[in-house]
Amino acid sequence: MFTFRNALRNIVRAKGRSLLIGIIITIIALSVCIGLCIRQSAANAKESALSDMTITAQISIDRDSAMSKAKSSSGSVSKSDLKKAMGTSLTLSQLKKYAKASAVKSFYYTLSASVDASGSLEAYSTSSSSSSSSSSSSSSSSSSSSSKGPSGMTTGDFTITGYSSDEAMTDFVDGTCKIKKGKMFTEGTSAMVCVISSDLADYNNLSVGDYITVANPNKSSEKYKLKIVGIYKNSQSSTQASMGGPGQTTDPANEIYTSYNTLNKIVTTSKAKYSSSSTTAISGQLNGTYVVGTVANYNKFKSQVKSIGLSSKYSVSSTDIESYERSAEPLENLAKFAGYFLLVILLVGAIILVVMNIFSTRERKYEIGVLTAIGMKKKKVAKLFVSEIVILALAGVIVGGTVGALTSVPITNALLSSQITSQQTKSNDMQQAFGRDNNGAGPGSSSSSSSSSGSSSSGTVSGNSSSSSGNAVSNYVSSVSNSINIWVLLELLGSCILLAIIAGMVSVVAIMRYEPLQILANRD
């Protein structure tokens, strides 16, 4: 109490000095508060967005690992080694084995295949130069509109996806797609039925009850007839399709949905027609989706699948988390910048306070001499001096913290906005450099944005890998609110008190070295 009261008195007596130190500490506290708030905003946004999401995980071939394994010491990649290292896609039974992990809440799977239009059916296209040629190519073994995909798989006019359950149809679950006419096929059916997009239906003048014929892109004479039981409307416009390639397959309108069993029947029938070594058969891409719910469960799932026996050739990933990370990139960048800014502020602040305290202690040398000469112990004098700067630091934290709390949100939003603009400009420049318009160019292409206040989430999330593959449309987290919390305040208080103590140590060292008699004898 004695120390505190005298420290307060000294602060009041030396108004000029106290005011100067107080202003400096307030500025430091304000800057630190804003920096901490930005970091906290990023953390809050991530936490709330991820907690609001139902995280799903997928198991896929670890291409990076395979590539590095296949690389020889000279750096060249052997194709045979790469094929060996990549292994094969997991079968349904293998996928189901990992679904037994305790972290998995539910499991669903999809089978997708690429097929060509056949008969009068034409793939929906907004580009006049890429109209379907399937009708004219019916006699050829390979459709002219079909193209070889990167993995050697032939890409046709349509993507036909078979779902294991209603839960797997995430576009319908999240409301991106809605049945407008007819109804959805029965869950688990193996009947040759499908639902098509309203765009495709209008384009081909099709309605519920009509039949469409699709063909093997590698052999147009191999045809399959599907009955349309429903027509859906996709709220995601075709212009939002990702930069998956020039084919129509990537257009959401050309997606045909059916049951897993139906598509599996088609794929199995096709396979049976050709030899096992042939690549002519319709090949299906099986994707399993494990609903794990939370990030913690996702991490648990990653370790559990390894213990169940997942080879290192495969890796576990989550499109939800990846999608969020893309959307939060500007905020994360800003948080990183805020971290460096914090370090600089603390360093510069410490230097300024230390230098000021050196001068202040020298100026008060006589006072130290008198106090010790009349019996005040050196450690008490040191405590008094440290208390003075700590009290000033507390006052600085209160003022700086209050102003910081009030201004951090608009400042963060302004910085975030400029960060997003720069990110979008970069993305636009890239698109222009590639000679493309700026449609469907990943996160940067999205004109809409979302805000995060600890409750709202960001980013569109595709829970299903088949529907989301190559579909990277995401929203940026463009605004934050209410980023200050008790931890920010404690960090602010802690850092400012630490600075004050570091500066106060200068006084402590000086006081411990000073001898009262020497000070008083050399008063002049």
d(CA 273, CA 222): 9
Q: Which two tokens stand for residue 262?
A: 């139906």
- Min dist CB 511 to another protein, Å, is 13
Size of the site for another protein (CB under 8 A): 22
Q: Is 19 in the site for another protein (CB under 8 A)?
A: no
Nearer to another protein, 429 or 515 (CB): 515
Nearer to another protein, 374 or 433 (CB): 374
Q: Is 20 in the site for another protein (CB under 8 A)?
A: no
Instruction: Rule CB under 8 A: choose which of 373, 406, 414, 498 binds another protein.
Output: 373
Burial bucket for residue 361 (CB in 10 Å: 0-12, 13-18, 19+): buried
- Min dist CB 19 to another protein, Å, is 16
Measured in Å, how far apart are the chain's first and last C-alpha atoms? Answer: 33
Q: Given the rule CB under 8 A, which of 326-334, 424-432, 492-500, 512-520 is the region that contacts another protein?
A: 512-520
Bridge-based pairing state of the strands 106-118 and 211-216: antiparallel
Instruction: Rule CB under 8 A: choose which of 254, 372, 408, 469 binds another protein.
Output: 372
Site string for another protein, 352-371 (x = CB under 8 A): ---------------x-xxx
Q: Which residues pair with 197 in a beta bridge?
A: 232
Burial bucket for residue 522 (CB in 10 Å: 0-12, 13-18, 19+): exposed
d(CA 194, CA 112): 13
Helix (H) or strand (E) holding 233: strand 219-234
Instruction: Rule CB under 8 A: choose which of 6, 26, 234, 471 binds another protein.
Output: 6
Nearer to another protein, 79 or 513 (CB): 513
Instruction: Rule CB under 8 A: choose which of 139, 375, 486, 513 binds another protein.
Output: 375
Question: Which residues have CB under 8 Å from 387's CB, separation 6+?
Answer: 3, 4, 7
d(CA 257, CA 250): 14
Question: Which residues have CB under 8 Å from 211's CB, separation 6+?
Answer: 225, 226, 227, 228
- Min dist CB 12 to another protein, Å, is 11
Q: Is 513 in the site for another protein (CB under 8 A)?
A: no
Q: Which two tokens stand for residue 36?
A: 């901490």
Question: Which positions from 86 through 115 interact with another protein, judged by CB under 8 A?
Answer: none
31-to-79, 236, 410 alpha-carbon distances in Å: 55, 42, 14
Q: Is 380 in the site for another protein (CB under 8 A)?
A: yes
Compute how many other C-beta atoms are within 10 angstroms of the C-beta atom of residue 153: 17
Instruction: Rule CB under 8 A: choose which of 272, 374, 433, 486 binds another protein.
Output: 374
Q: Is 517 in the site for another protein (CB under 8 A)?
A: yes
Nearer to another protein, 1 or 486 (CB): 1
Instruction: Rule CB under 8 A: choose which of 377, 429, 490, 509 binds another protein.
Output: 377
Nearer to another protein, 374 or 486 (CB): 374
Name the nearest CA neighbour of 462 among 155, 110, 68. 110
Q: Given the rule CB under 8 A, which of 61-69, 209-217, 227-235, 375-383 is the region that contacts another protein?
A: 375-383
Q: Given the rule CB under 8 A, which of 110-118, 172-180, 295-303, 376-384 is the region that contacts another protein?
A: 376-384
Q: Rounded to an integer, what is the distance from CA 388 to the centroid of its chain?
A: 46
Nearer to another protein, 2 or 340 (CB): 2
Residues at the site binding another protein, with contacts judged by CB under 8 A: 1-2, 6, 13-14, 367, 369-378, 380, 515-517, 520, 523
